[in-house]
């Protein structure tokens, strides 16, 4: 798939997800390029007074973009339960398990996914895989980086501190933490790896999302239109 058609696929998936939003909903707004397309379409629907919504952003970047687009914002303090969350993914498998975190917002994205009654994941076909593998982002408090990296190496992973593109030194998350990108050749049991990673002292969260498959709907932008795959519980919502 060319870069142009990949962009078209992201746009189509994002727009499709935005059309799933109903008037009066409180939304989780994900971080990343595909989720941004959903926000663009949501903005148009808000401007046209087709819907009135409020969004909980998962990052400072998403909050800035939402304000620029005229999407009203709120917080989990005001709305601890969300109707819907729209987000992207780095990988998604046939069971709707995800790897997320290239945008460094994985912890807030997981909090929002947990709070949402339904999670809509937007993706281009390149993100759909038969089995999760490769880099799993891990958010870590700075104090614990060295022992966490040692533990990850002992688990067979290859950990690397993520460094900034336009700054010297490590990427700092919106929560003030570091990110370790840990490569795994194979992830045979994603749920087990997620559980193991999140109990390591000093780890805040990891980029494996395995607990929300039942309420997840995947929207994949394809040349002939959007393919929609829905978890069992999401079909009832």
Q: Cite the active site residues.
A: 109
As a whole number of angstroms, the distance between CA 187 and CA 60 comes to 31
Joined together, the tokens standing for residue 109 give 């994205």
As a whole number of angstroms, the distance between CA 13 and CA 37 comes to 8
β 26-29/84-87 pair status = parallel
Sequence-distant (≥ 6) Cβ neighbours of residue 174 within 8 angstroms: 59, 60, 104, 105, 108
């Amino acid at each position: 798939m060319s870069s142009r058609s990949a962009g078209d696929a992201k746009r189509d998936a994002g727009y499709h997800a935005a059309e799933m939003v109903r008037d009066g909903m409180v939304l989780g707004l994900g971080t990343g390029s595909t989720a941004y397309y959903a926000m663009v379409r949501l903005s148009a629907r808000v401007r046209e007074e087709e819907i009135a919504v409020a969004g909980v952003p998962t990052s400072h970047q998403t909050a800035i973009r939402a304000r620029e687009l005229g999407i009203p914002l709120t917080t989990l303090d005001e709305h601890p339960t969300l109707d819907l969350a729209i987000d992207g993914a780095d990988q998604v498998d046939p069971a709707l398990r995800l790897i997320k975190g290239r945008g460094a917002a994985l912890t807030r994205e997981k909090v929002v996914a947990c709070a949402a009654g339904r999670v809509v994941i937007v993706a281009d076909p390149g993100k759909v895989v038969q089995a999760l593998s490769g880099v799993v982002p891990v958010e870590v408090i700075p104090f614990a980086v060295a022992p966490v990296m040692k533990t990850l190496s002992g688990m067979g992973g290859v950990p690397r501190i993520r460094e900034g593109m336009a700054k010297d030194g490590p990427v700092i998350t919106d929560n003030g933490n570091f990110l370790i990108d840990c490569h795994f050749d194979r992830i045979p049991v994603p749920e087990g790896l997620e559980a193991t990673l999140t109990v390591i002292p000093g780890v805040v969260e990891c980029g494996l999302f395995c607990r929300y498959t039942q309420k997840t709907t995947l929207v994949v932008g394809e040349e002939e239109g959007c393919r929609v795959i829905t978890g069992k519980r999401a079909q009832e919502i």
